[in-house]
Amino acid sequence: MTSSPRTVSLKGQALLDTPLLNKGTAFSHEERTAFGLHGRLPAAIHSLDEQVAQAYETVKAKPDTLSRHIYVRSLQDSNETLFYALLERHLTEMMPLVYTPGVGQACLEFSHIWQRPRGLFIAAEHKGHIADLIASPDYDKVKLIIVTDGERILGLGDLGANGMGIPIGKLSLYTACAGLNPDMMLPITLDVGTNNETLRNDPSYIGSRTPRLRGDAYSAFVDEFITAITARWPHLLLHWEDFAGLNAAPLLARYRNQLLSFNDDIQGTAAIATAAILAGVKAKKERLSQQTITIVGGGSAGCGIADQLFQAMLAEGTSESDARARFFMLDRPGLLTNDMPNLTEGQKRFARPEASRDGVGRTLEDVVTTEHPTILIGVSGQAGLFTQSLMTSMSTHCQRPLIFPLSNPTSHVEATPQDILTWTNGQAIVSTGSPFAPVTINGRTIAIDQTNNSYIFPGLGLGALACGAQRISDGMLMASAQAVAELSPLLQDGDNLLPPLEDSASIARTVARAVAYHARDEKLCPDFTDEDFQNALDRLSWTPTYQDYQPT
Concatenating the DSSP letter of every residue in 302-335 gives: HHHHHHHHHHHHHHTT--HHHHHTTEEEEETTEE
**What is the C-alpha separation between 319 and 177, in angstroms, rounded?**
38
CA dihedral 495, 501, 504, 510 (to 10 degrees): 20
Q: What is the mean pLDDT of residues 522-537?
A: 97
**What is the C-alpha separation between 47 and 316, in angstroms, rounded?**
54
Q: How confident is the model at residue 495 (pLDDT cuts 50, 70, 90)?
A: confident
Is residue 99 annotated as part of the catalytic site, yes or no? yes
Give me the pLDDT at residue 155, please. 83
Answer whether 5's CB lies under 8 Å from 547's CB. yes
Reply yes or no on whether the pLDDT at 92 is more than 50: yes
Give me the pLDDT at residue 174, please. 98
Q: What is the mean pLDDT of residues 278-297?
A: 96
Give me the pLDDT at residue 427, please. 93
End-to-end CA distance of the chain: 19
- Residue 67 identity: S
Reply yes or no on whether the pLDDT at 74 is more than 70: yes
Reply yes or no on whether the pLDDT at 116 is more than 90: yes
Q: What is the mean pLDDT of residues 96-104?
A: 93
**What is the C-alpha separation between 298 and 361, in angstroms, rounded?**
13
Q: What is the mean pLDDT of residues 117-142?
A: 97
- Could you tell me which residues are beta bridge partners of residue 16? none
Query: Which distant-in-sequence residues (6+ apart) come within 8 Å of 307 by Cβ?
Result: 270, 346, 349
Element (H, E) at 547: none
Backbone angles phi, psi at 314, to 5 degrees: -60, -35
Give me the pLDDT at residue 1, please. 45
- Domains of the chain in start order, with CATH, are 6-46 (1.20.1370.30), 50-243 (3.40.50.10380), 267-453 (3.40.50.720), 455-540 (no CATH)
Give me the pLDDT at residue 177, please. 97
Give me the pLDDT at residue 494, please. 79
Q: What is the mean pLDDT of residues 437-460?
A: 94
Of 202, 170, 205, residue with least CA distance to 188: 170
Tell me the three state secondary structure of residue 212: coil
- Give the active site residue among 170, 218, 517, 549: 170
Q: What is the mean pLDDT of residues 121-135?
A: 97
DSSP track, 115-144: -S--SEEEEGGGTT-HHHHT-SGGGTT--E
* 44 CA to centre of own chain: 39
Q: Give the sign of the dihedral formed by CA 237, CA 215, CA 127, CA 197.
A: negative
Q: What is the DSSP letter of 241?
A: -
Give me the pLDDT at residue 3, please. 62
Answer whether 462's CB lies under 8 Å from 512's CB. yes
Order of strands across the sheet that contains 293-296: 334-335, 327-331, 293-296, 375-378, 402-405, 429-432, 449-450
Neighbour count for residue 220 (Cβ, 10 Å): 12
The C-alpha angle with vertex 385 and arms to 383 and 386, in degrees rounded to 5, equals: 120
Q: How confident is the model at residue 500 (pLDDT cuts 50, 70, 90)?
A: very high
Q: Give the sign of the dihedral formed by CA 93, CA 95, CA 98, CA 101.
A: negative
- Give the active site residue among 84, 99, 455, 546: 99
% pLDDT > 90, the chain: 94
pLDDT tens-digit map of 210-225: 999 999 999 999 999 9
Answer whether 123's CB lies under 8 Å from 193's CB. no
Q: What is the mean pLDDT of residues 251-262?
A: 96
> How high is the mean pLDDT of the chain?
96
Of 302, 320, 276, 347, residue with least CA distance to 489: 276
**What is the C-alpha separation between 470 and 465, in angstroms, rounded?**
9
Give me the pLDDT at residue 2, please. 47
Give me the pLDDT at residue 309, please. 97
pLDDT tens-digit map of 462-481: 999 999 999 999 999 999 99
**What is the C-alpha separation between 473 and 226, in angstroms, rounded?**
19
Answer whether 423's CB lies under 8 Å from 417's CB. no
When computed from its CA atoms, the radius of gyration of the chain, rounded to whole angstroms, is: 24
Answer whether 296's CB lies under 8 Å from 414's CB. yes
pLDDT tens-digit map of 318-351: 999 999 999 999 999 999 999 999 999 999 999 9
Q: How confident is the model at residue 493 (pLDDT cuts 50, 70, 90)?
A: confident
DSSP E strand boundaries for 354-495 = 375-378, 402-405, 429-432, 439-441, 444-446, 449-450
